[in-house]
Structure 1
Amino acid sequence: MASEYDQITAFHYASFRPSLHLPILKECLEGGIQHPSGLDVGCGTGQSSIALTHFCKKVKGVEPSKEMLGKSIQHPRITYSYYNGQYFDYRDSLFDLITFAGSLYYGKSQQLLDEVIRVGKKNSRIIIYDFELSLDMVLQRLNLEPSLGQDSNYDHEVHFNGLNQEHIALEKEFKGNLQLEISISNVSHLLLSSKDNYNLLLESFEKNDLYQTVLQELRSRMNSENMVVDAKTYSTVYRIKK
């Protein structure tokens, strides 16, 4: 089931992600500057890596999920690689920008931070960012109660607190609120890219083509093909001091 779920998640994750990566990075970084190289840790299917190309001439995207890598979005300035969760296969002091887009929570450790410091150049920046979409209203439209399972423990504001930060300096933190108009078809993809929501929907609706079932159920309850979804954004910027 875990492998099946990973494949389903990768499909729906690749099918639609809100276009929030670039606006968040623009808030964190100076516009108009193109750095030589960037590293996107936990790149998923590549949306965050593509956003990083606006600030870096070349981007390396690393990802521990082979299912996600299999759905990665190809780009002429991005190279995707499998990450074993322990060491980066890159030389010291290589990257100008290093990003974690919703991925640090799953791999936060002193070893990971030490590796980031090792491959980052002196004065390079580490940007940890994430966004939180409120889909409770969507589930309520389906007469469902939001799940209180694994995803409820997820910390969107995670950063390097509690680790040895001798070689990094906190520069700034941001929080924001946005409203996004998203098509019902893409809202259905968002629902099914969450493990808890996927299991909740699987228990409540027909298993055959669950996406189409959820899509039709939402359409039957809506007067429009679009929905307005609230989003909270979080970002933390560090500078490497070595």
Structure 2
Amino acid sequence: MSEEYNRVISKHYASYRPPLHKTILARMLTPDTSFLSGLDIGCGTGISTIALSQYCRKTYGVDPSEAMINQAMSNGLIEYNVGYGDNLKLPTNSIDIVTFAGSLSYAKSNELVAELLRVCIPTAQIIAYDFEVQLTECLQSLGLEINRVKSTYDHTINFSDYDEFNEITVKSETLVLNVDSEQLAHILLSSSKRYDVIVKHFNSIEPFTLLVKLLDTLGSNHSIKVDVYYSMYGIAIK
């Protein structure tokens, strides 16, 4: 994927993401929970990092995509860096909480686990969560068809197979999200696979306005289902 192509996708990704990060974290962390230092690995454009920062005095966001980091949102309490989870530029025993928001399927490795054990304090909490917006019905109603190909991506992936961590909770549930046509258009265009199909359908490399108009023919508000998966771990004391 070219950097320019990635930039277009990341722009839509940054323009609107379902407000699920805050909702999911609230299911695992109480409102009065507070950490000195947090780390969001695979932070993308910073939506998940912003959510984590509500619980931390200082938060770090790391992502391998420079285009995503360039679009990242900040609130003055976040430091973003281009990088990978298995080679963090952070001091040993410096992190109190780590989150993976839809990124663990790409990042999980023995090297990652070793790096987490290095940068985390012994009482650190590690959270992996993901969600899958169910868009097949919406796409079909627009006359759009996405070719289904087998993928190795796993929304339910967690750290339950690592003895280095103690499982605190592992859950899944389905939520209903209400969005307007512009928000739904950004969601649809934030995936390279869907973006390609929509560009071809409208014969336009800037299909956002045309897509919003088409969505408006179905109504100004749309209800979509979201499958949510989340898990939390502590570091095993040996």
For Structure 1 versus Structure 2, the TM-score category normalised by the shorter chain is over 0.9
Contact 2:199–2:205 (CA under 8 A) maintained in structure 1:
no
| Residue 154 of structure 1: aligned partner | 153
CA distance in structure 2 between the aligned counterparts of 1:241 and 1:153, rounded to whole angstroms: 28
CA distance in structure 2 between the aligned counterparts of 1:209 and 1:168, rounded to whole angstroms: 46
* Partner deviation per Cα, 1:203-234 (whole Å, 9 max, x = no partner): 22221421122122222x31x21100101110
1:225 corresponds to 2:220: yes
CA distance in structure 1 between the aligned counterparts of 2:84 and 2:51, rounded to whole angstroms: 23
Find runs of 4+ consecutive structure 1 residues off by over 6 angstroms: none
| Residue 237 of structure 1: aligned partner | 232
| Residue 101 of structure 1: aligned partner | 101
| Residue 213 of structure 1: aligned partner | 210
CA positional deviation for 1:85: 5.2
The one-letter code sitting in structure 1 at the alignment partner of 2:155 is: H
1:186 corresponds to 2:193: no
Superposed CA RMSD in Å reads 1.6
Contact 1:147–1:200 (CA under 8 A) maintained in structure 2:
no
1:72 corresponds to 2:72: yes
Which deviates more from structure 2 when the two are superposed, residues 15-24 or residues 52-61?
52-61
* Partner deviation per Cα, 1:32-62 (whole Å, 9 max, x = no partner): 0211110000111111111112211111111
CA distance in structure 2 between the aligned counterparts of 1:83 and 1:46, rounded to whole angstroms: 14
CA positional deviation for 1:84: 4.0
| Residue 44 of structure 1: aligned partner | 44
Which deviates more from structure 2 when the two are superposed, residues 210-219 or residues 192-201?
210-219
TM-score by length of 2: 0.94
Runs of 5+ consecutive residues of structure 1 not aligned to the other structure: none
Contact 1:149–1:196 (CA under 8 A) maintained in structure 2:
no
The one-letter code sitting in structure 1 at the alignment partner of 2:168 is: E
3-state SS in 1 of match to 2:27 = helix
The one-letter code sitting in structure 2 at the alignment partner of 1:156 is: H
Change (3 A) 1:12 1:157: same
Runs of 5+ consecutive residues of structure 2 not aligned to the other structure: none
CA distance in structure 2 between the aligned counterparts of 1:84 and 1:128, rounded to whole angstroms: 16
| Aligned residues between the structures | 237
Contact 2:43–2:62 (CA under 8 A) maintained in structure 1:
yes
CA distance in structure 1 between the aligned counterparts of 2:44 and 2:205, rounded to whole angstroms: 26
The one-letter code sitting in structure 2 at the alignment partner of 1:135 is: L
CA distance in structure 1 between the aligned counterparts of 2:131 and 2:205, rounded to whole angstroms: 31
Contact 1:206–1:213 (CA under 8 A) maintained in structure 2:
no
Contact 2:199–2:206 (CA under 8 A) maintained in structure 1:
no
3-state SS in 1 of match to 2:123 = strand
CA distance in structure 2 between the aligned counterparts of 1:90 and 1:153, rounded to whole angstroms: 30
Identity value in percent:
35
| Residue 164 of structure 2: aligned partner | 167
CA distance in structure 1 between the aligned counterparts of 2:91 and 2:205, rounded to whole angstroms: 48
CA positional deviation for 1:112: 0.9
The one-letter code sitting in structure 2 at the alignment partner of 1:157 is: T
Contact 1:10–1:193 (CA under 8 A) maintained in structure 2:
yes
CA distance in structure 1 between the aligned counterparts of 2:140 and 2:13, rounded to whole angstroms: 22
CA positional deviation for 1:118: 1.0
The one-letter code sitting in structure 2 at the alignment partner of 1:211 is: F
CA positional deviation for 1:161: 4.9
